[in-house]
Every structure is written in C-alpha cells, then in structure tokens.
Amino acid sequence: MRSDRAKKGLERAGARALIHACGITREQLDKPFIGIANSFSDLVPGHIGMRRLQRAVELGIAAGGGVPLNFGVPAICDGVAMGHLGMFYSLPSRELIADIVESMALAHALDGLVLLTDCDKITPGMLMAAGRLDIPAIVVTAGPMMSGRYEGRRLSLVRDTFEAIGRAQAGEITEDDVAALEIEACPGQGSCQGLYTANTMACVTEAMGMSLAGSATALAGSAKRERFAYDSGERIMELVNHDITTRQIITESSVRNAIRIDMAMGGSTNTCLHIPAIAHEAGVDIELEVFDQISQATPQICSLRPGGEYMMEDLDWAGGIPAVLSVLSDMLDDNPTVSGKSIKEIAAEGRVVDNDVIRSVDKAYAPEGGIAVLRGNLCSDGAVIKQSAVSEKMRTFRGQAACFDREEAAMASILADEIADGSWIIIRYEGPQGGPGMREGLNPTAALAGMGKAETVGLLTDGRFSGGTRGLCIGHISPEAAAGGLLALVQDGDEIEVNLDERRLELLVEEGELERRRADWQPPEPKIKTGWLARYAKNVTSAASGAVME
C-alpha cells in the first residue's frame, strides 16, 4: 500500500503514535488509507450539504475495508464573488485546490482519494490533482439545486436575479419584485439550476468516466445523491485494490468524450479552460481547436438554461448523462470508467425518458455543438463563444467599439444606458495575467440581457463568462491585452465584425494604423502587486492553453 511508507517499519514509530492520536486503531493500520478531499463550506450553496455526503462516503469506504480520512479544501462561490475584488481569486483558486490535494495526498501517503466537490473551480481543481497524482480517485459531486418558484413560474439564479437587475433598470419590474426573486430563486443547497459551469463540469466529469453513472444530475439533498456518495465510497476500495489509477481513466479518448458531451448539451465556455487543464495534468495534449472540431461534428441535443428553458432537474428526470450518452453512442470513443463499466456499456444501458429534454440526433436543437472557437486578427490564438445562447440574427454582426479597461467601468455605462444599439462593448485587461485571474463577467452580460440588449449589442473580452451568460458574448480573447494582444489597441469607434458560421472575428482597422498605435502602447501597471495573485500573474499561461501555471 502507498500508505505503508508513512505507517510501517520500526522507524515509523513516531508517525504511528500521531496516527493513533487521531483515533486510528492498530488493526486499521493494515487497511488502505482513503483521503476524502472535502470542500464543505457554509459559504457556498453547492457545498452546504456535504456533511451528510461525507458521512455516506465514510460508511462506503469502511464497508469496503478502508479507513476514511477527511481533509479540507477551499471553495469560492462565483455568484457571491462576482463584481468585486473576490472574483480575482476564483479561477486562481483552481490551482490552489489542485496543489492542496496533491500536498495532502503525498504528505500523508494516501492510498486513494474521494473528491467531494460541486462548484465551478473546485471540480476541475480536484480533477487536476487526480491527474497529477495518478493514484486511484473518484469524484462525488453534491448535485444541482432545485428550481425556485414565484407567482406560478420556475426560477433559476441567473435569469431571475442577475438579469433582473437589468430588467429593474429598464423599468420592467420593481425593486420589490427583485427582492421577492432574491428570496425565491435559490430554495436551498446545490449548484445553480441551469447548465452553468458547475453542472457542466459535473456532466463532463461523468462523461470522462471519473464519477459513477447517473451521478452528475442527481439532485442535491436527495436520498439518491446520498446513495451515490455511499456507492462511491465502496467503489474507491475496488479501484485501490486493483490499482486502477486516474490516468487509466483520463485518456485522450475520455477527454474527447467529455468535450463531445459538453458540445451536445450546450455547456459552459469555462470548459475550454478546465478540460485542457485537467488533460494537461493527466499527460494528455488537447488543443483548443479540438473543441471546435468536435462541436462542428456534434449536434446539440439538449437545451438547458441559460440558452433554453429546461433545468438540471428536468435532465435528471429525462435519464441524465447515461441517456445523453445513449443518443451519442456511435460518436463516442470507448474508455474505462471508475464504475468498472466502459463508457459504451453505460451508453447501452442509458434510456431517454423525455424526448424533448434529450432529443434524438435527427431532431436536434442545432446541427452543431454549443461552443464555437473563433479566429481572426483580434484573436490569433483563439476566442470562445457559447453559440447555443446566441440568437440567429446576431450570428453575424458588425458594430463600433466602446472600450473599457475594466469590468466596473463597463457595468456603470451599461446601467446608465449609455451603450448605443449596434455597439461592441470591449472589456480588456481582464485576462489570466491582466486580471489577474480572468474574472467572470456575468454582471455586464446579465445586465445587457435584462435590459433587452442581447440582440442589439455584442461584448468582447479577454476575460471569461459565467456558464449563465447568453447573447453575443465572446471571451477568452487570446493573446490577451496585458500580453500585448490586438485587443489592447482597439479604440472607441473602431469597427469589429464577427461571423459565427465562418468562425471569424476581425478588427477592421488598417495595419498601418495598428502599427502606429502599437508604437505608443505601454503595458499597464499590475492591478494587484502583493500576495499570491501577484505571483499567479507572473506564472499563468494563456487562456488558449487552459490558463495553467508554468
């Protein structure tokens, strides 16, 4: 056992004394030590129910013959951190989480890991650690939140709170309505109800084979969710006993399957950061262009919020990820999973219960997947858009730039209704290096949608978006402005053209003029000069490569 190096031999007497001080018996020293990387938090709705899941995991591990050992992992709620200093820390926390799990697993010589997670950066951070460590590991997500209810209609976080700000600003609803929506939109524990980043990553994790079949969509707080936690505790013991390690599961095939499911469901653009980062840690090379290649060959068979009207509860009742896999079975690469079954076996067992929530290929919502990767002089290394959340009339768009060097300035201008129809809002110096930390820009995108401008105004940024963003919102522009990318040279009034069908994004300014501007350009002073974010800014790579740390 890997843990023997920390607990066996005469020279480990001192270590054993400390282990016994934790309540572990002599008999337990002969059993595998299983770490539970537990991201429980009172601060994050997706994580507040994890104590019960932790208990179920512990019981499963013990039943399987192991010793469950909990340790803590941080969790940031992007919705709470949004729009202020806190969002600088969100994406970088992914690296912290990976480093913490690695540190604990190696320092305490753990034989296996159960990764108890749910929200946006926590799940990919855990998976990055698993790929880096290459020891037996299994992911347990805490599940999606139920929809809210108000005046007879279903509610979800983004559309009914963040977008409500714009609707109130436009005079469509009152501040009393907003207050009522705040109370009712999020009824309890779980990750936000639509196919935003947290739930996208849960679905991607299941499709990648790193969690049990059906577990991504089981609702938070349900007995079904607790049973998955218990079964995962038992299953990690089988993985340990047979030394089935993470890199046997996370392969090029499983990564491609994960991307295909993401495209078929219309998931979050943040997967274009997280999947390459996970693959990188597992020794798999995946270029950004692969997302677009798979997207163009994959029909979109689900339409969940923000782009559609269905929610995660509907997807679960319709058959969950096994049902989605069953529709796409012929497009999948076979690959082992932590369940002991191959992905094709799971697909063969999947059953679609609702043919509108999960459509057949011939009746797909769209002929292509949810994400498109754009190229052009403005994004020579690529840019990303959730095309499934863009109206047909905005798939080609030409407009004039209104430039802002940080999100707060753009937000103030949007709420003051200063952005003319036919404009491009440019928000720059928000990339991995320039942010630092590539803040999520849900506030401005939701305000635009709430004010009814999703079909008249576009938004471009080297930052990123919430999975809840809809409209013509293009992010991850690389190279970023802080690194001298062309985005830094855009001026108010410049014309920019996008054609999603051609995957093209162009700044329509003559090259001679751009050369004159570049000669005058100076890199901006770092926004944050102290603390670990200053170190992060110096070492983080481009969004085009997953914003991993060098």
Per-residue pLDDT reduced to its tens digit, 257-287: 999 999 999 999 999 999 999 999 999 999 9
Catalytic residue among 191, 466, 542, 545: 466
Q: CA angle 534-539-543, nearest 5°? A: 105
Laid out side by side, the sheet with 382-386 consists of: 371-374, 382-386, 473-478, 458-461, 423-427, 396-404, 495-499, 504-507
Q: CA angle 172-174-178, nearest 5°? A: 105
Paired tokens of 389: 């959340």
Contact of 70 with 54, CB cutoff 8 Å? yes
Which residues fall within 8 angstroms of residue 155, CB to CB, at 6 or more apart? 147, 148, 149, 181, 184, 185
211 a catalytic residue? no
Write b or e for each residue in 303-342: b if 16 or more Cβ atoms lie within 10 A of its Cβ, otherwise e: bbbbbbebbbbbbbebbbbbbbbbbbeebbeebbbbbebe
Select from 480, 508, 484, 481 the least CA-distant residue to 494: 508
Q: Walk along the chain (550 residues) and give the pLDDT tens digit of each residue.
A: 999 999 999 999 999 999 999 999 999 999 999 999 999 999 999 999 999 999 999 999 999 999 999 999 999 999 999 988 999 999 999 999 999 999 999 999 999 999 999 999 999 999 999 999 999 999 999 999 999 999 999 999 999 999 998 899 889 999 999 999 999 999 999 999 999 999 999 999 999 999 999 999 999 999 999 999 999 999 999 999 999 999 999 999 999 999 999 999 999 999 999 999 999 999 999 999 999 999 999 999 999 998 899 999 999 999 999 999 999 999 999 999 999 999 999 999 999 999 999 999 999 999 999 999 999 999 999 999 999 999 999 999 999 999 999 999 999 999 999 999 999 999 999 999 999 999 999 999 999 999 999 999 999 999 999 888 899 999 999 999 999 999 999 999 999 999 999 999 999 999 999 999 999 999 999 999 999 999 999 999 999 999 999 8
Helix %, strand %, coil % of the chain (to 5): 45, 15, 40
Paired tokens of 540: 């983080």
Contact of 121 with 91, CB cutoff 8 Å? yes
**pLDDT (0 to 100) of residue 467:** 85
Select from 419, 447, 424, 385 the least CA-distant residue to 82: 447
Three-state secondary structure readout of 280-316:
HHCCCCCCHHHHHHHHHCCCECCCECCCCCECHHHHH
Neighbours of 515 (CB within 10 A): 10
Q: What is the DSSP letter of 28?
A: G
**pLDDT (0 to 100) of residue 468:** 85
Select from 432, 425, 474 the least CA-distant residue to 451: 425
Q: What is the DSSP letter of 166?
A: H
Contact of 401 with 491, CB cutoff 8 Å? yes
Q: Which residue has tokens 């998955």?
A: 228
Please tell me the distance from the alpha carbon of residue 104 to that of residue 293, in angstroms, as a whole number. Answer: 38
Is the preceding omega at residue 523 within 30 degrees of 0, hence cis?
Answer: no
Select from 70, 127, 128 the least CA-distant residue to 104: 70
Which domains, and CATH codes, for the chain?
Answer: 31-146+188-349 (3.40.50.2300), 150-185 (no CATH), 376-545 (3.50.30.80)
Main-chain dihedrals φ then ψ at residue 150, nearest 5 degrees: -155, 125
Neighbours of 281 (CB within 10 A): 24
